[in-house]
Structure 1
């Protein structure tokens, strides 16, 4: 039980700290790498990570509540 809670906390931290994740589609990366200004690329990258994380968090919350309901 202790190992599961540690793994859960680590996964949640990975979703809550998106600056360590790098995610871009091929088209966005090609366009943004050709520009000299990197602030736009960082903004696009952060937006993609946030958009990707939200559905996973919602689905995880749904499964957690289903698990709690089935357990009680």
Structure 2
């Protein structure tokens, strides 16, 4: 059990390290472009980040809303759990 927890911890830490390296490269590119007066790349990157951030929450809200309205429309159904 301890080996599994340790392995999971190592895998999570390895993934975070890769993500931080990518963010540093993006930040360097944006800082260089903004200092040269090119704002289009920074605006596009900000829009892309917000798009990727919001999309999963909208999908979950849509699925939850559909489930809620179907459940509410059909009412609470009682299921017979006795063995036949």
TM-score when scaled to structure 2?
Answer: 0.47
Structure 1 unaligned blocks of 5 or more: 1-24
Q: Which string of whole-angstrom CA distances, capped at 9 and with x for unpartnered residues, describes residues 27-63 of structure 1?
A: 2234311322221111111111112211111110000
2:66 and 2:41 mapped to 1: Cα distance? Answer: 38
Structure 2 unaligned blocks of 5 or more: 1-21, 74-84
- Show structure 1 runs of 4+ deviating over 2 A: 25-31
Q: Which has the higher contact order (CA 8 A, sep 6+)?
A: 1
Size of the aligned set, in residue pairs, is 48
1:39 and 1:58 mapped to 2: Cα distance? Answer: 28
1:66 and 1:29 mapped to 2: Cα distance? Answer: 40
Q: Mark the structure with the bigger radius of gyration.
A: 2
Map of 1:68 onto structure 2: 69
1:38 and 1:31 mapped to 2: Cα distance? Answer: 11
Map of 2:82 onto structure 1: none
